[in-house]
Chains A and B, each alone.
Chain A
Amino acid sequence: MTDNPMLNEWYPVGILTELTSEGRDTLLMGEPIHVARDAGGNPVVATKDGRCLPVRARYGHVWTSLGTPAKELFDIPEADQPGRRLVDVGVVRVKCSPLRAVENFLDIAHFPFVHTDILGAEPHTEVQRYEVQIREEVDEVWATKVKFYQPQAAKSAEGGITTDYMYRVPAPTVSILYKTCPPRPGEWDVITLFVQPMAEDLCQVWPWMALFDDQTPMTDLIHFQQMIFLQDRSILENQLPRLLPLDPGMEIPTRADMTSVAYRRWLKRHGFTYGAQLVAA
């Protein structure tokens, strides 16, 4: 792990509103860390041997890095847009590679089978062609013009609609989803997946949302997303091998998997291989 580019990335390690002065212990890429708030209420993160780590307080979460981040924490402009409700969904611990958790989030083809009658339903299983690119100027993976039929796209949706999506990967364990916003046509709801890599085959998933929805009670919004992620967990803990195979041959992608193909290519290009396996076993 000495020459591991992922050490220099930012990772979520807790929810800002849940920090205490006693703090709590957790793991980041195998390293025990302590997350707390100081007397002034600011988040502090330190390793077991007392090394203070860089900290950012953003998007409802505490972010830190074990190395020296070359880039500032990625920007989500929508986070500051007036009228949005910001939702800290909580944490789901998953016994899987942090990279597999992100890849699953980028996938729509599983909706009818894993999130049956919620995010998808047979016979509406077809994935139309969409566009994927690695945007070199910002060094992010983007998928656009993604469309899928959904029986209940969001808590605020009534009945089935074809939902438009965009996906964005600004960091190896972060994905941001932009999705049709039922009450406000023309705007996008933002749903993120922030993943804390605890080990190569263990992670904590911290979903976060920035929605235009004045109606739905907060607990309902949280329960809806938690239900979705618990359904995903039943998949993620049963994939073989546990680590994400970056070399072709181990798994077979189709056109619906273009985002995953680009994500894997981007990970490999940057040497983001914590949670990946490079040689087909």
Chain B
Amino acid sequence: MPQNWTAVALSRDVPPQVVIPTVVEGRELAVWRSQSGRIAAWEDRCPHRGMRLSHGFVRGEALSCIYHGWSYNEAGLCQRIPAHPDLVPPDAIRVPTLTAAESDGIIWVTAESTDRPPPKMPGFTPLRSLTVEVPASTITAVSASPIGEDGDLRLALAGIACLLLVQPLPGDRTALHALVAAGTSPTAQASVSRALEDLRHQAETERQAA
């Protein structure tokens, strides 16, 4: 069964009242966390003038567009148009939303409707994310590891068991969300982080040589 959840970020990299841009299956998205901690993934476009919502700002449980301040509630419905403070916006003004969920410190997004919860990665703890200027196929070639059905690539870095959640991005780029074996010491985690950067360097060099 093909996986339908894509890992897009570590939970701790999107703290409350922060919004970031990302791409899932070619769709440009704004992923954001409300003040109370709720995570959401929306189309990265305000229906008013097409401005990217990932440039917007979070107040309370709403995301606002930076262009004209139109704010959208957790369902993606426009709830306020500052140019017309007394107007109740019609329900037709809404941002298309996707499903976002968190599992063990990872933010997952799916463009499909699903009953299946996001995958679990037992025995691993989130380390960091990084973007590599190569397609996912180059990562698998360089690491000599296949990608599992949850987008997970398992390998040893600095001699420690690691797991990379692979997120394909447009323009032959790839985001890697790295996890390490639970209980790895901070010193060893730093070594894994450096090994990860070496892997990136190796993949990008490989790419240039090809």
Contacts and interface: CB of A to CB of B under 8 A. Distances in A.
B83 A254 contact: yes
Contacts of B101: none
Given A238-B55, A254-B81, A254-B87, A113 B68 contact: yes
Nearest to B94: A252
Interface residues of A, number: 23
A222 B204 CA distance: 43
Given A240-B45, A256-B84, A109 B68 contact: yes
B69 A113 contact: yes
The size class of the interface chain B forms with chain A is 20 to 34
A268 interface: no
Contacts of A239: 49-52
Given A109-B68, A113-B66, A252-B93, A126 B83 contact: yes
Contact of A125 (B28, B49, B83, B92): B83
B19 to A, nearest CB: 13
A255 B66 CA distance: 19
Interface secondary structure of A, over-half rule? loop
Given A110-B67, A113-B67, A114-B66, A240 B84 contact: no
A126 B55 CA distance: 22
A245 B51 CA distance: 13
Contact of A126 (B28, B51, B67, B85): B85
A251 B93 CA distance: 10
Interface in A221-270: 234-235, 238-241, 245, 250-256
Contacts of B44: 240
B65 to A, nearest CB: 8
A235 B83 contact: no
A122 B66 CA distance: 13
Interface in B104-126: none
Among A245, A252, A253, the one with the most B-chain Cβ atoms within 10 Å of its Cβ is A252
4 closest Cβ contacts across the A-B interface? A125-B82, A256-B83, A109-B83, A127-B83
Interface of B: 28, 44-45, 47-52, 55, 65-69, 81-85, 87, 92-93
10 contacts: A112-B69, A113-B67, A114-B67, A122-B69, A125-B69, A125-B82, A238-B51, A239-B52, A240-B28, A251-B50
